[in-house]
Amino acid sequence: MIQDLGRRIEGAGMDSLWMGEHVVLFDEMEFPYPGSKDGRIPVPAGGGLLDTVATFGFLANATTTLRFGTGITLVPQRNPIYTAKEFATLDWLSGGRIDFGIGVGWCKEEVLACGYSWEDRGARCDEFLEVMKRLWTQPVASFEGQHFNLSECRMDPKPIQNPHIPIIVGGHSKRAFRRAAEFGNGWYGFGINPEQTAAVLRDVDAALERAGRSRDGFEIVITPDVADADAIRQFQDLGVDRLVMHLGSQRPEKVAARLSELEGFAKIAA
């Protein structure tokens, strides 16, 4: 049962549980999935992915300290007002245990299926993030942009976390680094090793400097391609704040075995 998974992760001393987002999957895609060798999302037939908002709400009720992060929420294929409302509600109900990992996505077919255009998803993402931040922080919010307009309105209750839910920006492009520096409370890197992380962090630091910021108060979150005790220590030495490990399977027996392994990793990182 999924609530048992949340309780075991919390009991093992791990600080957070992260979920990815895909509302529909496709047998044929123009661009391959970057996290697998065959270019397909590694889920079994009929497996799919649970909705992050509903699942986190369910798990928040089954836990007390565990944080929940999206890795990632596909912002430019969502409605920003509903997204702001859903995550503000999650944050309020969970007592401030939500991290909003975001990105523009790689699946063109999914973006089109959600009713949006593909080529301008980056610019649309930036506007949607600004809309959500205003709804989360301003008593009366409004916005005028190229991709979205919002008349003066109120959204309550606000998130518990101040000034708003942490925004962790995913992506490995220069534009993603800029987005992280301009909008983010952190950067999320996927499927990379310590050597690759060291190189990418130089670009992240440069983007932060251009925005007049530093890594002080800015979180680095990594899903490593592989992890062992040595790699975990290397990530720590690089200043990585959080490692988000793959469970690797949807099958209960394999998940149980993987959790036993992750419990050992948690002790190393402590």
* For the chain, domain boundaries: 2-165
**Contacts of residue 12, Cβ cutoff 8 Å, sequence gap at least 6:** 259, 262, 263, 266
pTM above 0.85, yes or no: yes
pLDDT > 70: what percent of the chain? 96
CB burial of residue 78 (10 Å; 0-12, 13-18, 19+): buried
Task: Evaluate if residue 81 carries a pLDDT over 70.
Answer: yes
**Contacts of residue 40, Cβ cutoff 8 Å, sequence gap at least 6:** 32, 33
pLDDT of residue 258: 76
Confidence at 45, pLDDT banded by 50, 70, 90: confident
pLDDT > 90: what percent of the chain? 77
For the chain, the residue count is 270
Largest CA distance in the chain: 53
Helix axes 2-11, 52-62, angle to 10 degrees: 60
Task: Evaluate if residue 259 carries a pLDDT over 80.
Answer: no
Confidence at 112, pLDDT banded by 50, 70, 90: very high
- CATH code reported for the domain at 2-165: 3.20.20.30
CB 150 within 8 A of CB 127: no
pLDDT of residue 47: 77
Confidence at 107, pLDDT banded by 50, 70, 90: very high
Task: Give the integer Cα–Cα distance in Å for 76 and 104.
Answer: 6
Confidence at 249, pLDDT banded by 50, 70, 90: low
Q: What is the mean pLDDT of residues 253-263?
A: 74
pLDDT of residue 261: 75
Task: Evaluate if residue 138 carries a pLDDT over 70.
Answer: yes
Helix segments in the chain, DSSP class H: 2-11, 52-62, 80-94, 108-113, 121-137, 174-183, 194-210, 229-237, 252-269
Please identify which residue in the block is written with the tokens 């992260």: 18
